[in-house]
Amino acid sequence: MGKARRLIALVRRKEFLLRLGGTFIAVVGAVSAILGIVDRHFAVGTAVVLATVTLAISALLNYRSLISPQVPVDDIIASDVSPDAPAKLICPCNLETANEAKELAQHCYAVSVTIEPDKYEQMRVKNPFILACLKDDAGHFLGYFDAIPLRAHFAQPFLHGLVTEAQITHEDVLAAGEIDACKYLFIAGLAVRDPNTYAGRRNASMIVWGLLKYLDEFYGSSKPLLFALAATREGDELLERFKIPLRSEGTSRRDSYRLYSLPLNANEIGKRLACVPDWSKLCVLSWTPESSFVRGKRPRRPPLPQGKPWRLASGAVP
């Protein structure tokens, strides 16, 4: 009885069933193709026997997926990021790191309306601070976010859905020396490598925390209108969870994406920082003096958030 219950429980595992079905279909398809080429056909009884044998072979080939791992290795040792080897959020980035970010963006936003890499590089040359990248202590690229300060002549029609992200050029972007006067800030993208792993989820949390710290550092005084497009399902959900007010539905826009916006100020940034872990002991910010990050004995996990997302007021759309 014990073995029977165990087998029943294991067979229910989705991963096993998907692999079993995939192998079975592949084998049957290959046999059918061969029979079609040689113009041979099996009787019904022979076909049933063949299907049964094929199913048994598929089960044997995928048997190991029935065995549960004894420990979740990725959750125990995620990567090399540790108190003595912290990650680093770098802004501005060099060309090599920027190219890694572009490659990840092309993968994550493959079906979205986005800026072409060559046009993006022209914008980055004009203002290197539009891109921030997360790396581990060994220099491995982990993820990025980009925030583009736009001139009013492009930002206003963009907000109304008359133009798309793909139409942004370097002429529409404020130079690095002009960001103190920024009134419109577009969050163009945010992504991490391997987001379905524990390390990827941790890196995503670290990048969101870093983005908020970045906004406070570079745009806290100018208080621009922050806005972002929900080009992906995950982006839409993240914007909603952070209670960024919805400004327009995709049906009224040329790019067909929902647009969220929020007047940025220190209070709004602070409320959202309180809803994410404080990664300051495990992540160095390149714009922060190195002397403020003291190596030594520190917690291996960030402090828990002090606030709750549901306490964030959605606010009115300006």
Phi, psi of 103 (to 5 degrees): -65, -45
Gyration radius of the chain over CA positions: 25
Please state, in angstroms and as integers, the Cα–Cα distance from residue 78 to each residue in 45, 209, 281, following that order: 52, 19, 17
Does residue 283 contact residue 213 with C-beta atoms inside 8 Å? no
Instruction: Determine the Cα–Cα distance for residues 173 and 161; give it in Å rounded to an integer.
Output: 18
Does residue 284 contact residue 87 with C-beta atoms inside 8 Å? yes
> According to the model, what pLDDT value does residue 72 have?
54
- Asked whether residue 33 falls in the same domain as residue 93, the answer is no
Burial class (CB in 10 A: 0-12, 13-18, 19+), 131: buried
Of residues 120 and 37, the one with the higher pLDDT is: 120
Strands 258-263 and 87-90 come out as unpaired
Does residue 185 contact residue 154 with C-beta atoms inside 8 Å? no
> According to the model, what pLDDT value does residue 7 have?
46
The answer to whether position 165 is within a domain reads yes
The answer to whether position 316 is within a domain reads no
- Asked whether residue 47 falls in the same domain as residue 177, the answer is no
The answer to whether position 287 is within a domain reads yes
Of residues 263 and 20, the one with the higher pLDDT is: 263
The answer to whether position 43 is within a domain reads yes
pLDDT tens digits, 87-105: 999 999 999 999 999 999 8
pLDDT at 1 over 70: no
Domain count, the chain: 2
Here the tokens at position 29 are 């398809």
pLDDT tens digits, 291-316: 444 444 444 455 656 555 545 655 44
The answer to whether position 318 is within a domain reads no
Query: Residue written as tokens 């916006």?
Result: 261
% of the chain at pLDDT higher than 70: 73
- Asked whether residue 269 falls in the same domain as residue 177, the answer is yes
- Asked whether residue 153 falls in the same domain as residue 9, the answer is no
Q: Where does a domain end: 23, 39, 66? A: 66
Instruction: Determine the Cα–Cα distance for residues 33 and 152; give it in Å rounded to an integer.
Output: 61
The answer to whether position 205 is within a domain reads yes
CATH number at residue 87: 3.40.630.30
> According to the model, what pLDDT value does residue 3 have?
45
CB-side neighbour CA atoms (13 Å) of 227: 25
pLDDT band at 260 (very low <50, low <70, confident <90, very high): very high
- Asked whether residue 247 falls in the same domain as residue 150, the answer is yes
pLDDT tens digits, 193-239: 988 888 889 999 999 999 999 999 999 999 999 999 998 888 899 99
Q: What is the span of the domain harbouring residue 133?
A: 74-311
pLDDT tens digits, 103-141: 998 888 876 778 888 999 999 999 999 999 999 988 999
- Asked whether residue 259 falls in the same domain as residue 150, the answer is yes
- Asked whether residue 145 falls in the same domain as residue 236, the answer is yes
pLDDT tens digits, 73-85: 555 555 555 666 7
- Asked whether residue 80 falls in the same domain as residue 142, the answer is yes
Q: Which of 207, 189, 183 is nearest to 115 (CA)?
A: 189
- Asked whether residue 194 falls in the same domain as residue 280, the answer is yes
- Asked whether residue 156 falls in the same domain as residue 296, the answer is yes
pLDDT tens digits, 161-199: 999 999 999 999 999 999 999 999 999 999 999 888 888
- Asked whether residue 161 falls in the same domain as residue 265, the answer is yes
The answer to whether position 317 is within a domain reads no
Q: Where does a domain end: 66, 97, 121? A: 66
pLDDT band at 71 (very low <50, low <70, confident <90, very high): low
The answer to whether position 95 is within a domain reads yes
pLDDT at 250 over 50: yes
pLDDT band at 69 (very low <50, low <70, confident <90, very high): low
What integer is the mean pLDDT of 49-66?
Answer: 69
Q: Where does a domain end: 18, 41, 66? A: 66
Of residues 298 and 54, the one with the higher pLDDT is: 54
- Asked whether residue 54 falls in the same domain as residue 87, the answer is no
pLDDT band at 317 (very low <50, low <70, confident <90, very high): very low
Mean of the per-residue pLDDT values of the chain: 81
